[in-house]
């Protein structure tokens, strides 16, 4: 027996599992943690082992009414870990105390399953190093595209994992907002409110719409597929909040759509990576990924492989977490030793892509030939130019450029604005599967 605090009272929790049962110490009983507990308490027939939640760590035990009495709640993490569960499942979110508790579990030889991309993005090297050093399994399948179990599969297949480029949509909130703006013709603010009402956006959506969540997932993917250690703050990140309905309409006229994209490619000791909205041409596999769907396209030895599916949601995430639990208890510890050889810091370079540019002017837009001449003087070449329209009470025109770096584009747009008295807003543009 261990002593846990439940609803402010001290209660006892049976920790001796029945034969064949797996005991789980659950760190966090929020949206995903509650779904994990519900699955453990009422397992579907397909679950091959019985699971017992020996206790759940929370901050405020009184705030967890649904599982009241069914799961012993505690604010005492140390006692919970000392009860020697078969697996620790970390669903707290954030960096601390999640980092310290996972390290304590790994150093004590207890396998860990987590869905915490923020932590993995910032401290993944340290955690994977502890797992490899102690030979203790650490799994994090639900941290990126929770409903598509691909990280574990690729980690067991070194040649399939020999990837040199990743492109994807890994934030369902941003994808839902842009899809709603496109299909309903609503503003960013209205689409955000709609997605909050549907439960697809947090009350504070800044990490999702600002691109931070996507950048964290990109960091996890860079480590997994490239062996690169890149802090999300070092990435080129932009959000979707500057986009207008008119931008999305023009993207359709250009034969594509605007999507919240992550992209990374590498060669030698150099890597280029970004997270942010991008125009994707109709030929691109990501052009068809709508709503809360996520997808990742990997380019490696066998050409391009794209996987798509639900990116989040408590039930989807909980199912992936539990599949991880079943895998870690059977995982050969030698494999965890061998799985991680350390990550290297790449020399980060600028990705050269096409650009989708909105040019606006209060009074008169520059002549198309002048725009082309001014931009080409700085090495930016136009692929397409739209008809003139209106955007935010100004005259507007949209451009698609051939690939160049952000530095080159910014220099050219600065010169254009200075010479022609206009304003610009630019996002990246990806053509087919070649960029
Ligand atoms: N939601 C999804 O669909 C989804 C999908 C993929 C991955 N994830 C990841 O899964 C993790 C959990 O997400 P969630 O949506 O379930 O979060 P959540 O609803 O905010 O739940 C967090 C839980 O952790 C507890 N907690 C947080 N900090 C704590 C602390 N310092 N001490 C003790 N307890 C603490 C909270 O307790 P109190 O309520 O008492 O504060 C709550 O029970 C995150 O890493 C998230 O990124 C979520």
Phi, psi of 221 (to 5 degrees): -70, -35
Whole-number Cα distances in Å, 43 to 23, 35, 46, 214? 14, 11, 8, 32
Ligand 1 pocket residue status of 66, Cβ below 6 Å: no
CB distance 313 to ligand 1 below 6 Å:
yes
Residue minimizing CA distance to atom 27 of ligand 1: 92
CATH of 354-430, one of 3.30.450.20, 3.40.50.2000, 3.30.70.260, 2.60.40.10: 3.30.70.260
Asked if residue 77 has its Cβ within 6 Å of ligand 1, the reply is no
Are the CB atoms for 268 and 256 separated by under 8 Å?
no
Pocket test for ligand 1, best of 61, 91, 294 (most atoms within 8 A of CB): 91
State the distance from the centre of ligand 1 to the C-alpha of 432, rounded, in angstroms.
38
Query: Ligand 1 centroid vs 186 CA: distance in angstroms?
Result: 31
- Total-model pTM: 0.94
Q: So what CATH class is 158-310?
A: alpha beta
Identify the residue whose C-alpha is closest to ligand 1 atom 5.
312
Q: What are the Cα distances from residue 375, in Å, to 103, 119, 404?
A: 52, 42, 12
* Dist. CA 27 → ligand 1 center (Å): 8
pLDDT in tens, the chain (435 residues): 444 544 444 555 544 567 679 999 999 999 999 999 999 999 999 998 999 999 999 998 876 666 767 899 999 999 999 999 999 999 999 999 999 999 999 999 999 999 999 999 999 999 999 999 999 999 999 999 999 999 999 998 999 999 999 999 999 999 999 999 999 999 999 999 999 999 999 989 999 999 999 999 999 999 999 999 999 999 999 999 999 999 999 999 999 999 999 999 999 999 999 999 999 999 999 999 999 999 999 999 989 999 999 999 999 999 999 999 999 988 777 676 666 778 999 999 999 999 999 999 988 888 888 899 999 999 999 999 999 999 988 999 999 999 999 999 999 999 999 999 999 999 999 987 544
Tokens 């679950």, located at residue: 47
pLDDT of residue 369: 82
Distance from residue 58's CA to the centre of ligand 1 (Å):
9
Q: What is the dihedral of CA 264, 221, 125, 174, to 10 degrees?
A: 90
Structural domain spans, the chain: 2-143, 158-310, 354-430
Residues tagged active-site: 217
Q: How far is the CA of 6 from the centre of ligand 1 (A)?
A: 18
| Number of the ligand 1 atom closest to the C-alpha atom of 75 | 33
392 lines ligand 1 (CB under 6 A): no
Whether the CB of 101 sits within 6 Å of ligand 1: no
Fold of 2-143: Rossmann fold (3.40.50)
Mutating to test ligand 1, I would choose from 4, 25, 26, 28 the residue with most ligand atoms within 8 A of its C-beta, which is: 28
């Amino acid at each position: 027996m261990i002593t846990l605090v439940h609803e402010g009272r001290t209660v006892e929790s049976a920790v001796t599992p029945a034969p064949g049962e797996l005991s789980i110490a659950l760190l966090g009983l929020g949206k995903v943690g509650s779904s994990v507990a519900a699955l453990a308490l009422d397992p579907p027939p397909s679950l091959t082992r019985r699971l017992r939640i020996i206790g759940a760590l929370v901050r405020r035990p009184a705030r967890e009414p649904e599982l009241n009495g069914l799961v012993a709640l505690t604010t005492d993490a140390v006692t919970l870990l000392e009860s020697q569960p078969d697996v620790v499942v970390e669903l707290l979110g954030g960096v601390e105390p999640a980092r310290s508790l996972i390290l304590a579990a790994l150093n004590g030889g207890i396998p860990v399953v987590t869905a915490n991309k923020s932590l993995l993005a910032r401290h993944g090297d340290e955690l994977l190093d502890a797992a490899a050093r102690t030979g203790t399994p650490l799994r994090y399948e639900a941290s990126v595209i929770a409903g598509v179990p691909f990280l574990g599969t690729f980690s067991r297949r070194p040649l399939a994992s020999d990837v040199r480029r990743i492109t994807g949509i890994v934030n369902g909130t941003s994808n839902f907002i842009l899809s709603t703006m496109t299909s309903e013709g609503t503003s960013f603010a209205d689409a955000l409110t709609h997605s909050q009402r549907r439960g697809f956006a947090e009350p504070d959506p800044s990490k999702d719409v600002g691109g931070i969540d996507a950048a964290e997932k990109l960091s996890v993917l860079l480590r997994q597929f490239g062996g690169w250690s890149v802090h999300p703050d070092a990435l080129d990140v932009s959000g979707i909040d500057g986009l207008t309905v008119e931008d999305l309409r023009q993207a359709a006229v250009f034969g594509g759509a605007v999507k919240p994209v992550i992209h990374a490619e590498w060669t030698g000791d150099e890597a280029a990576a970004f997270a942010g909205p991008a125009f994707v041409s109709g030929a691109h596999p990501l052009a068809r990924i709508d709503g809360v769907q996520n997808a990742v396209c990997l380019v490696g030895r066998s050409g391009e492989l794209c996987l798509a599916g639900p990116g989040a949601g408590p039930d989807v995430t909980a199912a992936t977490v539990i599949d991880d639990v079943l895998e870690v208890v059977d995982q050969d510890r030698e494999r965890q030793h061998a799985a991680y050889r350390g990550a290297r810091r790449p020399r980060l370079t600028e990705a050269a892509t096409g650009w989708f540019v909105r040019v606006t002017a209060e009074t008169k837009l520059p002549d198309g030939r002048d725009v082309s001449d001014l931009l080409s003087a700085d090495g930016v070449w136009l692929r397409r130019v739209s008809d003139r329209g209106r955007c935010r009470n100004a005259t507007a025109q949209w451009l698609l450029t051939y690939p160049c770096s952000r530095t080159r584009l910014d220099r050219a747009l600065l010169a254009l604005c200075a010479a022609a008295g206009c304003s610009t807003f630019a996002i990246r543009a990806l053509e087919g599967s070649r960029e």
